[in-house]
Chain A
Amino acid sequence: MTAQLVASTLRVSTPLIFAALGGMFCERSGVINIALEGMMLMGAFGAAVGTLVSHSPWLGSVCGMGAGVALAAIYGLFVIRLRANQIVAGMAINMLAMGLTPFICKILYDVTGSTPSIPIAERFQSAPLYLSWGLVVICFLWMRYTPTGLWVSFAGEHPEALAAAGIRVNRVRWVAVLVSGALAGMGGASLSIFLSSSFSRDMTAGRGFMALAALIFGKWKPLPTALACLLFGFADAVQIRLQGVALWGDQPIPVQFIQILPYLVTILVLAGFVGRSRAPKALGTAFQEG
């Protein structure tokens, strides 16, 4: 029972970790990423199609990451190049993904609901799980010990200082946005070709926003963010397990209260009731290069 719960916690946390780390690069560089949800959805779709075509989950996840990057490129074009409001553009990108996935699915497979299912031999068994934790370590080391990691932080905290040091702020932000698209796409891929057997419509079901919540709960730092993903994943695993279980009499347990917990703690943390979480200083402000 316990071992099973641990295993399912680790599994359902995987997409969250990828997406939250993607969100971290983007937001630490000063670009808000409300569009994680849409990038995950595109990634999930791209990965399912890629796997169905290539019969390899590895090539499939590359396709998923590519789909995430493509959407991130549109996002970057609007928020960095055209200085669109990052929240408005982010919501629009989510809408675009919600519209494009069934649209393309219909063209490719003549159904809007979901892609054909992927045989179990062609799906991931556990690779994304290990990959995600490897990535946590890499991100931690990268952000802390490399010059490029420092650039990302400066682009989000003091873009003027970075520009004064001769680094192109918007170039750093472009890379960060594209990396976030790739990672969110991988998060989506781990939904469609690792946790389930096909892409289905709107299958991310708010996980992009939950990843965003984990990022805030984790104070925009790799290790705490990953732990927050684990905590939210645990809540999810418990909730799945308790669904339909009777508590007393024949009353089923209202799992809704477990479902809302991640969102509730995020509000409390952000408000400083439980610890304190501070956003990068220049988060959400466009940088105009002189």
Chain B
Amino acid sequence: MRKVLQPILAVALGLALGLGVTRIAGESPWHVLQILWRSAFGSNYDFGMTLFYSTPLILTGLAVAVPFQAGLFNIGAEGQLTLGALAAAAVGALWPVMPWPLAPVLATLAAILAGTVWGAIPGWLRARRGSHEVINTIMLNFIAAGLASYVTLYLLKNPDSQNPETRPIGAGYLIHQFGVFGGAPVSLALPLAVMAAVLVWILLWRTVLGYEMRAVGQSEPAARAAGINPGRIRIIAMSVAGGLAGLVGVGEVLGNAGKFRLGFSPEYGFIGIAVALLGRNQPVGVVASALLFGALHKGAADLDLETEHVTRELSLILQALIILSVSAEGLWSWMKKRREA
């Protein structure tokens, strides 16, 4: 019970604090909450946009959750998803005449592969050179951004556009968008992300590999004594994470933009950390909290227009406060102690 209650309390606390902040801007918190709700769920289109933002967050949330179960902290989902999207767009731009069913499959595999490689690097560095994955993944995020900028502006530049983006991909690459959402780009990427969550659940709780990952995450010496090679497990966990993050490219490139646009991600990778944390690093929790953060992101988008002084950046403040409340170990153990006393 506590496992479900604590995240819900943390969300409530974070929202209360964050909405309290809007008072400073002279706006009624209740009014702001109404706008958030309406803008996230008010119409089919709004709800579609919420789902559109939630899709990459499911994947980046999983990309943080899987290594976390193996005792690793993946701050690198941002870089992994950047290269995944870039790879999908590169395949689509370089071989534009590929026929339909083959084309999206190839682009998807390219996205997974690019993300996997980018995840495997910090996994390997941790396993074989002992350097910490947190610093390495942060650094790799910047390197990925630099590489993506180079490829986009020098190798695959779209000659018909002033924006920093690649040439469009071939028509055969585009995947199905659901019509019921009034034009919101909800594509096959959404069921794909949910399927990924199911597969991650099976991997972690129904396979030997998943058992080994969790064993390494809980106690490395114990895992080693049981004959598990922690280095190998770490490399695999980070590679899987990279592949999951790389899948973000499918929804963005094949399901939405039809090309790679520099800076398309509003920090999906970082919000994924919050998603995983709030979802307690469990696939079901990740999907649920991805939906919440997607709704916050979409909900806040209309604040600029509909209020006098509150800006869309309120969603960042709300997200930060929710993460802080859920992460405050001391707060929860203090509450537990008080209840028991």
Contact = CB atoms under 8 A, between A and B. Distances in A.
Task: Give the interface centre of B75, B125, B315, B328 by most chain A CB atoms within 10 Å.
Answer: B328
Contacts of B273: 88, 91
Interface string B129-162: 1111011101110110011011001100000000
A83 interface: yes
Contact of A254 (B154, B267, B309, B315): B154
A96 B320 contact: yes
Contact of B131 (A99, A103, A259, A272): A272
B313 interface: yes
Contacts of B274: 91-92
Task: Give the interface centre of A103, A107, A212, A279 by most chain B CB atoms within 10 Å.
Answer: A103
Size range of the chain A interface in the assembly: 35 or more
A106 B307 CA distance: 12
A88 B277 contact: yes
B195 interface: no
Interface in B137-191: 138-140, 142-143, 146-147, 149-150, 153-154
B139 to A, nearest CB: 4
A256 B147 contact: yes
Interface in B239-277: 267, 270, 273-274, 277
Contacts of B331: 82
Interface string B7-42: 000000000000001001100000000000000000
Instruction: Classify the interface of chain A: helix, strand, loop or mixed.
Output: helix
Contacts of B129: 270-273
A254 B135 contact: no
Interface stretch (A13-21, A47-55, A125-133, A260-268): A260-268
Given A85-B327, A206-B142, A263-B143, A92 B320 contact: yes
Contacts of B131: 267, 270-272
Contacts of B153: 254, 256
Task: Give the interface centre of A85, A88, A264 by most chain B CB atoms within 10 Å.
Answer: A88
Size range of the chain B interface in the assembly: 35 or more
Given A91-B75, A91-B323, A271-B125, A84 B317 contact: no
Contact of B24 (A91, A107, A263, A271): A107
Contact of B309 (A107, A209, A216): A107
Contacts of B138: 34, 209, 212
A98 B316 contact: yes
Contact of A216 (B135, B147, B315, B316): B135
Interface in A256-290: 256-257, 259-260, 263-264, 266-267, 270-273, 279, 286
B75 A103 contact: no
B25 A256 contact: no
A270 B132 contact: yes
B321 interface: yes
A102 interface: yes
A216 B139 CA distance: 12
B309 A89 contact: no
A93 interface: yes
7 contacts: A85-B329, A96-B317, A96-B324, A98-B316, A100-B313, A263-B140, A270-B131
Given A212-B135, A271-B136, 7 more contacts: A99-B314, A106-B311, A112-B313, A256-B150, A259-B146, A260-B142, A270-B135
